Every structure is written in structure tokens, then in C-alpha cells.
């Protein structure tokens, strides 16, 4: 893609991941071009890439919309993420340095500060959580894993899930990161893999609970 289409891609993906653009919202090229400060051609290129990332769907009439994810779609994505990110954690544990462990600890400390407030700072939690997982993936040192996991980790369902966490769920997420850090400090790949897989699977159940709760709210509002 061109630099302009790269900028458009990052901008539109950011709107989807943050929830500014919701599932089913239409993606009109003219409006997006104005918001992104580019022409319509880079917008088309960005939308094609987002379609490949499964974040955008295109109809037979060539209209684009933010993808709707069914619970089955989400479960499939989380299953794949648990397997791949679990393996990434194993590789990371075998390659990690004390400096990287310190960076992860600092990141998890920021997560704790964000979620221990009376009203959790969800934005900071999401930013630092993304940073934590990205650092683990970078430490794993596998370009193939990075390519496979990037789209799964950046799904808007992660944002939607966190918006409906209760304080206990935030604390569990922080605690699981702390367990993972203990495995990294001991360079225990099998332990790190087991913790990461459980961490991702717990997030799936949190999403499922939020999804059901949102369904009830939507029915009640109808």
C-alpha cells in the first residue's frame, strides 16, 4: 500500500478497534476520505486490506461495512489466539532477558494502577495490555507468528470485552500477567504457554458473558 493508504488503514482500523465505528456501521468512502485527509483511492486500498483482516465486509453491491462478529466467529478467533499466543509465550520464555522482564513488569504495574481505581481507566488498561502482549510476541522472535497474531490481537472484540469487565475481571487479568512474569523469570516455556493459553481462554468467557449481557440490554431497549 502507499503511504496515504497506510495512513488511512491505521486511521480506520483505529476507529473500529476503539469502538468509534461499531459492528454494522457503513463505511462511506467520501466521508472517510474527508476524515482521514486523503483521496478516495487510498481509502479503497485501506478498506480492501481491512476486509482481508476480517474487520470489514463488502456486499455484492460493493458497499463496505464494519464486520459483525457472531459468538462462533469470536470463539474461533480466541481459540486460534490461545494456541498461537501460547506458543509465542513459550518461545518468549526461552529467549527473554532481564531487561524485557523489567519492561513487562513496568507495563503490568501501569495496568494495576489503571484497574485499581474506583472507576477503572479502561483506555489505559487496553493500551498497556496491548503493549504487554506485543512485547511478548516481539520477544518470541517469529515473523510468522507476528503476522498470524496481529489481526487476532487487534480485534475490536477486545475493546468491547474490556468495556464490560467488572473490577474482579480486571484484577484477574493483571494477576494472570503476574503469573506469566513468574514463568518468564524462571525461563519456563511450558509454564508460560499454559498460563497464556488459560489467560486467553478466560478472556473468551468474559467476552461471551458480555455478549449475552449486551443482547439482553438490546432486547430490553427495543
| CATH code of the domain containing 24 | 1.10.10.10
pTM for this model (two decimals): 0.74
Is 79 in the same domain as 164? yes
Structural domain including 122 reads 71-221
Any idea which of 17-26, 76-85, 106-115 has the lowest mean pLDDT? Answer: 17-26
Q: pLDDT tens-digit profile of 83-119?
A: 999 999 999 999 999 999 999 999 999 999 999 998 8
What pLDDT, on the 0 to 100 scale, is given for residue 103? 98
Q: pLDDT tens-digit profile of 140-155?
A: 999 999 988 876 766 6
| CATH code of the domain containing 85 | 1.20.120.530
Q: Which of 14, 47, 66 is the last residue of a domain?
A: 66
Q: Which of 66, 91, 116 is the last residue of a domain?
A: 66
Is 55 in the same domain as 109? no
Work out the pLDDT band at 180, boundaries 50, 70, 90: very high
19 — alpha (psi -120 to 50), left (phi > 0) or beta? Answer: left
Domain count for the chain, please give it: 2
Is 104 in the same domain as 206? yes
What average pLDDT does this structure show over 175-200? 97
Is 81 in the same domain as 29? no
Beta strands in 84-222 (DSSP E): none
What pLDDT, on the 0 to 100 scale, is given for residue 143? 93
- Helix residue ranges per DSSP H, 96-121: 98-115
Is 48 in the same domain as 99? no
Is 178 in the same domain as 88? yes
Is 19 in the same domain as 97? no
Cell readout for 116 is: 485499581
Is 196 in the same domain as 95? yes
Is 95 in the same domain as 201? yes
* Other beta carbons within 10 Å of 198: 15
Question: For residues 11-27, b (16+ Cβ closer than 10 Å) or e, as one string?
Answer: bbbebbbeeebeeeeeb
Q: Residue 195 contacts by C-beta under 8 Å, 6 or more apart in sequence?
A: 89, 176, 179, 180, 183
Is 180 in the same domain as 202? yes
Give the integer Cα–Cα distance in Å for 81 and 3.
29
Q: Are 74 and 157 in contact (CB under 8 A)?
A: yes
Amino acid at each position: 500500500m502507499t503511504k496515504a493508504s497506510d495512513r488511512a488503514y491505521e486511521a480506520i482500523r483505529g476507529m473500529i478497534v476503539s469502538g468509534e465505528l461499531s459492528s454494522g456501521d457503513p463505511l462511506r468512502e467520501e466521508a472517510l476520505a474527508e476524515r482521514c485527509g486523503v483521496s478516495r483511492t487510498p481509502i479503497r486500498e485501506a478498506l480492501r486490506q481491512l476486509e482481508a483482516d476480517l474487520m470489514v465486509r463488502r456486499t455484492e453491491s460493493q458497499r463496505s461495512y464494519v464486520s459483525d462478529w457472531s459468538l462462533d466467529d469470536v470463539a474461533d478467533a480466541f481459540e486460534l489466539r490461545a494456541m498461537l499466543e501460547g506458543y509465542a509465550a513459550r518461545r518468549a520464555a526461552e529467549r527473554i532477558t532481564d531487561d524485557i522482564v523489567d519492561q513487562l513488569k513496568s507495563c503490568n504495574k501501569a495496568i494495576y494502577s489503571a484497574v485499581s481505581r474506583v472507576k477503572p481507566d479502561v483506555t489505559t488498561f487496553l493500551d498497556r495490555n496491548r503493549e504487554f502482549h506485543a512485547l511478548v510476541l516481539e520477544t518470541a522472535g517469529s515473523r510468522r507468528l507476528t503476522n498470524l497474531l496481529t489481526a487476532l490481537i487487534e480485534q475490536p472484540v477486545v475493546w468491547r470485552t474490556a468495556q464490560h469487565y467488572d473490577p474482579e475481571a480486571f484484577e484477574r487479568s493483571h494477576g494472570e500477567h503476574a503469573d506469566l512474569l513468574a514463568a518468564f523469570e524462571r525461563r519456563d516455556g511450558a509454564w508460560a504457554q499454559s498460563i497464556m493459553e488459560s489467560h486467553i481462554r478466560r478472556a473468551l468467557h468474559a467476552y461471551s458473558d458480555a455478549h449475552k449481557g449486551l443482547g439482553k440490554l438490546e432486547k430490553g431497549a427495543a
